[in-house]
Chain A
């Protein structure tokens, strides 16, 4: 079963716009991670936010975590055509480093 559910399932924006996607989960977590997957490729780790953190930045990425609402958001600012990909959230457990992935948000950035 999938722990995280992303919303929206698909997103189409113009280059330069911001892209926001959300992830909701059901059980308590140790951390939440975001991954990117380009078509036909493996997953690339973007950012990890721990359960005691509320916000984290990495370049043009901003991730928030609200454990009371069991939700997280990923914001990509000033999007580029190269940001076109599927984005997955994954919840991490405290023991074993096990990740449970959501279904992903497919982002299309039009030049």
Chain B
């Protein structure tokens, strides 16, 4: 079974530029998550999708971050404009469902450096 795919793996941009990350979850997984992991910290949930609807985006900085999952499969996360403090690893995860008992499977992450 293929795992969660993410691209790019690395990205370096200057502050105020925009950037987009892509995630392809495990086939058949209805729930998709984006996490931000700052160096030395645990992952923090940014947004959670159930199919193509948003379940939780309470910690997403909506003035600069946006995410979509239009067809309920792949997802993109965008930052516009980027700030220095956005330097982090962005992890995508998926699970079969969101009933509180499902294991989340993580992708390898996209490492972002904002200069």
Contact B100 A102 (CB under 8 A): no
Q: Is the interface of B mostly helix, strand, loop or mixed?
A: loop
**Residues of B contacting A90 with CB < 8 Å?**
42
Q: Say yes or no: A96 contacts B42, CB within 8 Å.
A: no
Count of interface residues, chain A, beta-carbon cutoff 8 Å: 29
Q: Return chain B residues, CB-CB under 8 Å to A100.
A: 45
Measured CA separation A65–B79 after assembly (Å): 38
CB-based contact A96/B98 at 8 Å: yes
Q: Is B25 an interface residue (CB 8 A)?
A: no
* A18 CB within 8 Å of chain B: no
Inter-chain contact A103/B41, CB cutoff 8 Å: yes
Could you say which residues of chain B place their CB within 8 Å of the CB of A33? 103
Could you tell me the distance between the alpha carbons of A48 and B43 in the complex, rounded to whole angstroms? 17
- Are B100's CB and A31's CB within 8 A? yes
Does B42 contact A42, Cβ atoms closer than 8 Å? no
Is there contact, CB below 8 Å, between A42 and B104?
Answer: no
Q: List 15 A-B contacts (CB under 8 A).
A: A2-B44, A4-B42, A31-B100, A42-B91, A42-B107, A43-B43, A45-B104, A88-B43, A93-B100, A96-B48, A96-B56, A96-B100, A97-B48, A97-B98, A97-B101
